[in-house]
């Protein structure tokens, strides 16, 4: 059955002439997008696209379908604008603060979906360290802030969580055993260490301290997670990295779970000013619905 995401995907493919880029735009995997296009064409009973080696074209009949789909989506967006205007949301602006690893992983899909539902609400993302985010929330500089490991009851919505993993050079003496059973913090504490912070107070050093351990041989400290992985690949040491922050290319690296498992949770906290903003509360409602349906 064709649904709204099928039509958005169809228009995105026509615009990008590429399924991979279109899939990314609408928040799907490439395989899922290819399957959805095949289902759409099967439902219509004719080909919308022509497929060449490095290019996706549109058939003559497909051009007419794409035109109607654009019109339908535009009318839907117009209806949503009317709905937002009736609720006093037209022209709303939300200032959302976050730190880099969340900005690049958890937020893009969320903000893309919110923009589709409320095209007249502008979301401005401010990026800083987790300490800066806390300061901006307290000073009412932002409407919402993403905080790490919020205390129970503090967060207005939970974005999600990810696990900490150990990153070792592929040729590390413990790599084979660690792949099978994981690795403990105790086993990592005395090894040459690449300390990555990601601009956050919660990092490899603080995790060790919380476990009553101490890093005895920190070879280099960097802020960027990817830089840490590159240094590990060069044999500078081992590192603790959030799973969501791992690079796409893992060649030369051995990524293993930490045992017992360690996770970090991301919550969204509303500032005093954000509590009186209709646009901000609308975003929070959307987050809560997303969490319930997950």
Residue 171, SS3? coil
- pLDDT grade, residue 244 (50/70/90)? confident
Mean pLDDT across 148-156: 90
| Dist CA 146 CA 284 (whole Å) | 12
Which two tokens mark 57? 């074209």
Look at residue 179 and tell me whether its pLDDT is greater than 70.
Answer: yes
Mean pLDDT, the chain, whole residue set: 86
Which two tokens mark 279? 């646009």
- Residues 16-26 as b/e (b if ≥16 CB within 10 A, e otherwise) read eeebeebbbbb
| Dist CA 289 CA 72 (whole Å) | 25
- pLDDT grade, residue 239 (50/70/90)? very high
What's the whole-model pTM score?
Answer: 0.64
Residues near 85 by Cβ (< 8 Å), separated by ≥ 6?
120
- Taking Cα atoms as reference points, which of 258, 254, 244 lies closest to residue 162? 244
Look at residue 201 and tell me whether its pLDDT is greater than 80.
Answer: yes
10 Å CB burial of residue 48 (0-12, 13-18, 19+) is: buried
What's residue 290's pLDDT?
A: 61
Mean pLDDT across 215-220: 94
Give 268-285 pLDDT, tens digit per residue.
999 988 887 888 888 888
Look at residue 32 and tell me whether its pLDDT is greater than 60.
Answer: yes
């Amino acid at each position: 059955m064709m649904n709204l995401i099928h039509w958005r995907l169809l228009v995105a493919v026509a615009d990008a002439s590429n399924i991979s880029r279109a899939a990314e735009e609408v928040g799907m995997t490439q395989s899922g997008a290819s399957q959805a296009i095949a289902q759409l064409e099967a439902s219509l009973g004719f080909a919308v696209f022509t497929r060449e080696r490095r290019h996706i074209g549109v058939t003559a009949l497909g051009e007419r379908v794409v035109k109607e789909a654009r019109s339908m989506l535009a009318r839907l967006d117009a209806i949503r604008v009317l709905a937002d205007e009736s609720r006093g949301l037209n022209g709303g602006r939300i200032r959302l603060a976050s730190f880099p690893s969340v900005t690049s992983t958890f937020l893009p899909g969320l903000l893309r979906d919110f923009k589709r539902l409320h095209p007249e609400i502008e979301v401005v993302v401010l990026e800083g360290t987790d300490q800066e985010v806390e300061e901006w929330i307290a000073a009412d500089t932002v409407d919402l802030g993403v905080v790490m490991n919020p205390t129970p009851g503090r967060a207005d919505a939970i974005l999600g969580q990810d696990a900490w993993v150990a990153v070792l050079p592929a040729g590390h003496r413990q790599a084979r055993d660690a792949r099978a059973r994981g690795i403990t913090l105790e086993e990592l504490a005395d090894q040459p260490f690449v300390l990555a912070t990601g601009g956050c107070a919660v990092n490899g050093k603080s995790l060790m301290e919380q476990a009553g351990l101490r890093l005895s041989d920190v070879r280099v400290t960097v802020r960027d997670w990817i830089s840490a992985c590159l240094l590990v690949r060069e044999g500078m040491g081992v590192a603790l990295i959030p799973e969501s922050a791992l690079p796409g290319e893992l060649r030369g690296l051995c990524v293993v779970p930490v045992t017992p498992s360690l996770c970090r949770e991301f919550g969204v906290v509303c500032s005093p000013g954000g509590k009186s903003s209709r646009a901000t509360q609308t975003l929070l409602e959307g987050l809560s619905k997303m969490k319930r349906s997950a």
